[in-house]
Amino acid sequence: MNKTQDFNYSITVNASAKETMKRISEVNQWWAKDFKGKAAKLNDEFSVYFGDTFVDFKISEAIPDKKIVWLVTDCNLGWIKAKKEWKGTECIWNVTEKDGKTTIDFTHKGLTPDVECYESCKPGWTHHIKDSLQKLVNDGKGFPE
């Protein structure tokens, strides 16, 4: 495996690209119950909180029903030494609709195997996307923390 490969995860959901993008922006319905701000369009800013851990984002790119990019503007990752490790990284959501289903292709650019949080963040993202976001889109109910 290439050591500099960014974390990537893809799922397919039973919804249109438009509905899928709407659900991704409902961060408090699938990822973090403790959520402030808006996560739907260009320049929106939002934060997620898990106890003393927080991540602040700004939407740096948005192509309706195709792509949205969350830029990490600040963070405090409470469980690792490199508390600011996500700062400057990007969460990139690409969606592609085909035959009434939509594929979500998620990349956390900067989350690579050589950073401290990779081994704990990889299963975290996988769980939130596969178990929670997918259920939110398909069944209308996710499992945010």
Greatest distance between any 2 Cα atoms in the chain? 45
* Number of neighbouring beta carbons within 10 Å of residue 71: 18
pLDDT at 1: 45
Query: Per-block average pLDDT, block size 10, for the chain (145 residues)?
Result: 80 98 98 98 98 97 98 97 97 97 98 96 97 98 96
**pLDDT tens-digit profile of 36-65?**
999 999 999 999 999 999 999 999 999 999
pLDDT at residue 4, rounded to an integer:
73
* Residue 17 near residue 66, CB atoms below 8 Å: yes
Q: What pLDDT does residue 29 have?
A: 98
What ranges do the domains of the chain cover? Answer: 7-139
At residue 3, the pLDDT reads 52
Top-level class of domain 7-139: alpha beta
**At 120, which helix (H) or strand (E)?**
helix 118-127
pLDDT of residue 28: 98
Q: Where are the beta strands (DSSP E) in the chain?
A: 7-13, 34-37, 45-50, 53-63, 67-76, 90-98, 101-109
pTM here? Answer: 0.96
What are the structure tokens assigned to 75, written together?
């963070």
